[in-house]
Amino acid sequence: MRKSLTCLFRLLAILPFAQIVAGAQQSQQQFANLGTCKLVSGQQIDSCRLGYRTWGTLDANRSNAVLFPTWFSGTSANLADAIKPAGLVDPTKYFVIAVDALGDGVSSSPSNSVTQHGPDFPAFTIQDMVNAEYRLATETLGLKHLHAVMGISMGGQQTFEWMVDYPGFMDVAIPIVGSPRPNSRDLLLYRTDEDAVKSDPAWQQGRYMQRPAASVAQLIWEMNLTTPGNYMRTHPREAFSTEYAELRSKGILPFDANDWIAQLEAIMHLDVAHGGRLEDTAKRVKAKVLVVNAAQDQMVSPQPALDFARLIGAKTMILEGDCGHLAVGCEAFTLDPVVRAFLDGK
């Protein structure tokens, strides 16, 4: 999963040495210690902390911050390829905050909690991720406003949650291949994948001593990240046996199975209307919104996002190629300039 999603982006363009060094200095792993994170369920995460990395410089008016949360099973380090002058967001113009979402193994997660380890870690939601990120922005970084929130896949889902939970806190929102609420087909995929993790003999009800590879769960993901046509074109039949053996051996590793399930559960319970009507929720949105989806996405169905875009009068961009959920990388040279222009108000 992590390897496949990393392929969303091209390799870093060749930059002057000084620029590479400056970028490295501004993208070190940092942590915000939030104390207790109270969850919407009434439970809490003890010793709660969020990982984050920053690129660029906050301007004199503190008005150019862009918050960029991670996708499912991704980390802030994985977002680096998207944060460059020719990428999705230009750090020479914006102060970019890449945030490790709860449950990614860097921020507070079942795998790294000392007092709430493994299955004892409380279930959290996409809304809880966003609430923690708001605290990072306001309490740790001292920001009173964001220029934008943007994200890919689960990051896009967090972006939808941001725009309805903190509608006046940002000027721009850009959810990319995300959704405001999974539909029944999405739920079928996610629940099947979760069952596959739990069917691994090493699972032991989440109290394992050695991390399960959950190979079948990874194979389910691999089958849905792109379309059949794209898969056959990029994976020759002659290489199948070797590639399949590698997938079976690696599975979801090094990602932790409890973390995988915790984030999957958060995605499955996503509903930006919080049990109400999306039509009513849409009235809360104040940001200028660009909704990006892939027409042939088999991982996150595009229609819920497009329906919500219509309700809020958002601009939309549909990636028409056959890369499915990986369209963000495949069609980057079309997508990236549009996103950068939208961030710039063009």
Q: What share of the chain is helix, strand, coil (3-state, %, to 5)?
A: 40, 15, 40
Q: Which tens digits make up the pLDDT trace of 241-295?
A: 999 999 999 999 999 999 999 999 999 999 999 999 999 999 999 999 999 999 9
Instruction: Using the CB atoms, write b or e for 192-204: b if 16+ within 10 Å.
Output: ebbebbeebeebe
| Measured distance CA(325)–CA(7) in Å, rounded | 11
Q: Which tens digits make up the pLDDT trace of 304-330?
A: 999 999 999 999 999 999 999 999 999
> Is the separation of the CB atoms in 165 and 71 below 8 Å?
no
User: Is residue 15's pLDDT more than 60?
Assistant: no
CATH number at residue 59: 3.40.50.1820
| pLDDT on residue 26 | 57
For residue 182, cis peptide bond before it (omega within 30 degrees of 0): no
The CB-based long-range contact list for 87-92 (8 Å cut-off, 24+ gap) reads 87/9, 87/336, 88/150, 88/176, 88/335, 88/336, 88/339, 88/340, 89/150, 89/339, 89/340, 89/343, 90/340, 90/343, 91/23, 91/26, 91/55, 91/56, 92/56
Q: How many CB atoms lie within 10 A of CB 299?
A: 20
| Measured distance CA(149)–CA(118) in Å, rounded | 30
Q: Which two tokens stand for residue 289?
A: 């919104």
Number of independent structural domains in the chain:
1
Q: Which domain holds residue 108?
A: 2-343
User: Is residue 19's pLDDT more than 80?
Assistant: no
Tracing tokens 């090493």 back to the chain, one arrives at 202
Q: Which two tokens stand for residue 132?
A: 């923690």
Say which DSSP state 138 is in.
I
| pLDDT on residue 9 | 40
| Measured distance CA(132)–CA(136) in Å, rounded | 6
**How far is the CA of 63 from the CAs of 26, 225, 251, 316, 344, in angstroms?**
18, 36, 42, 25, 12
Q: Which tens digits make up the pLDDT trace of 129-164?
A: 999 999 999 999 999 999 999 999 999 999 999 999
3-state per-residue secondary structure call for 180-192: CCCCHHHHHHHHH
Q: Which tens digits make up the pLDDT trace of 187-241?
A: 999 999 999 999 999 999 999 999 999 999 999 999 999 999 999 999 999 999 9
